[in-house]
Structure 1
Amino acid sequence: MPNKDIPDAHHVARVCPKNRVIRDGQGRPVGVFPQLYKLREKTDTRPREPYLSASYVEYFGNEHSQCLKSCVSTSAFPIKPADFMVILNAGKVRQIGATYNLKLKVVHDTANKSNPAYAKIVGTPHDATHAFLGALAATTVSLLISVEDINR
């Protein structure tokens, strides 16, 4: 079975480019913009994005800092030191989705050969103004970690 449910107590990490980070008056990161969770629309060169990509944190073990380093190093695209990782609890993602009548799945794609920890958040709305995106963004304030700090 290529997709396996990630347990509620486990986490996924999603790359957050520096331009999606909300900063306070002193420039400290305090949250993310809801657009971080917007699915990409169809273009001439790619289809409509069907799910959000992430990494299954606990796939790499129990040592949190090492798991995050592994999430960064196994990414399919280069992640810059100025970028961030947003850590989401799988159960909380499902719970927030249920609040908006969304049947979300947070799954580990076990068939992905290039990234063994590849995860998907399936069922998020395509509507960029959907309240779910803001609710999900509001849960990440204390779970935003800079890639620079992860790689230390």
Structure 2
Amino acid sequence: MIVPEGPATVDEVCSHLRRRRERGKDFSIIVVSEGATVSGVESMDAGTSLDAFGHVRLDRRAIGEVLGRAIEEKTGFETRVTVLGHLQRGGTPSAFDRVLATRLGVAAVDYIHEGRFGYMPALSGQKIVPVKIADAVATNRTVDLELLDIARIFY
């Protein structure tokens, strides 16, 4: 997994792949976040395309494609890049997901009827609570590095 919070280099990625190959693992799946950077490779659109809010359009960077080519060049290993769309990322909703969506929708309509604009419903514990939208978007949420280290144990 390559995420913005855990920077990587193309050499580290290639070394990891070589170690797996030496242990008899002839396959690997590398998951690269759109916002991730990999030292040693340059994304196709290095920040020149901006969205309506002035943020870099991550979908134009093609970081997976660029990394795949770099891996092939440095290791000789065949790579296949797949860019997942929103449908593939989500999966089939569970019963919990469906009930939660209903609860959130009901709360959103209630907020409108109450004239409580600028708020969004959120799950806190088991309760639906109003959260100011400005507060929700004030900071970027990041991956907990401790959890990332734990996840890396398995690959």
User: If the length of structure 1 is used for normalisation, what is the TM-score?
Assistant: 0.27
Bigger RCO (CA 8 Å, 6+ sep): 1
Structure ranking higher in helix proportion: 2
User: If the length of structure 2 is used for normalisation, what is the TM-score?
Assistant: 0.26
Q: Which has the larger radius of gyration?
A: 2
Structure ranking higher in strand proportion: 1
